[in-house]
Amino acid sequence: MTPTGLYDPAFEHDACGVAFVATMTGQPSHEIVQHALTALTNLEHRGASGSEPDSGDGAGILIQIPDTLFRAVVGFDLPAHGEYAVGTAFLPSDAGEAQVAVKAIETIATEEGLTVLGWRDLPTDDSMVGITARSTMPAFRQVFLTGPNGDDELHLERLAFIVRKRAEREAGVYFPSLSTRTIVYKGMLTTGQLEPFFPDLSDPLHLDAGYGALPVLDQHLPLVAVGAPLPPDRSQR
């Protein structure tokens, strides 16, 4: 295509692959996660990889918090669903640097009036991941936060957002999400690597991962969203 009048093909926009899965029954089920992972695999043509086919440019899944799973695997008590926030921190791979970052995040949380309930080392399996992706892989740890007694969910959600943004700016730690409602599992992966890389996604206790309120719709519908990004070029900026 060639420029014509006000039209210039340089400004065409392509999109990453996105899928959305929901059930009309309102009943939580691990089946929702399985359907979403299938949808993600079917989006492989929207992702990309270079000469190293086992290093993808990124894939992820957003689900509602799997409260049943977390209660079964963490070594500390959790308050009622909706009264705690959780997110995965992408920490430095160096243990010493990671500990410094953890302390910085805990300090930020305290300054915002939140209590750190504990940390969980997120299980991963990088055996199928390419050298390039593995060389840049962070340490994955999930932090659980709660507010003062009686703190409503919306207020806690706002405070968690502040902690997330401050952690990125002040501690240099990226959180794909930090929320009372949803959690994101993502990485420099191909679409087919996401589930085996994060064993959480295959756990049958993920039965309530699709139950809760979707913030942008404000509806209590079990749901899941997945994505597979395309590599950026001028038309995607």
The whole-model pTM stands at 0.81
Report the first-to-last Cα separation within the chain, whole angstroms: 19
Q: Which residue ranges of the chain lie beneath pLDDT 50?
A: 211-223, 230-237
Picking from 42, 44, 43, 81, the residue whose alpha carbon sits closest to that of residue 64 is 81
CATH label of the domain that carries residue 218: 3.60.20.10
Q: What is the pLDDT of residues 9-26, one digit of tens each?
A: 787 766 677 778 887 777
pLDDT for the residue numbered 9: 79
- Residue at token pair 């920490």: 91
**16 carries an active-site annotation:** yes
**87: exposed, middle or buried (Cβ count in 10 Å: 0-12, 13-18, 19+):** buried
Query: How is residue 90 written in tokens?
Result: 């992408």
In-domain check, residue 5: no
In-domain check, residue 2: no
Given 2, 6, 13, 16, which residue is catalytic?
A: 16
In-domain check, residue 39: yes
Tell me the backbone φ, ψ of residue 178, rounded to 5 degrees. -155, 100
pLDDT for the residue numbered 161: 96
Picking from 68, 99, 67, 97, the residue whose alpha carbon sits closest to that of residue 83 is 67
In-domain check, residue 4: no
pLDDT for the residue numbered 4: 86
In-domain check, residue 70: yes
Question: Residue 64's domain spans which residues?
Answer: 15-236
Give the whole-angstrom CA distance, residue 183 versus residue 215: 12
The tally of domains found in the chain comes to 1
In-domain check, residue 1: no
In-domain check, residue 128: yes
Picking from 145, 141, 168, the residue whose alpha carbon sits closest to that of residue 157 is 145
pLDDT for the residue numbered 2: 82
In-domain check, residue 8: no
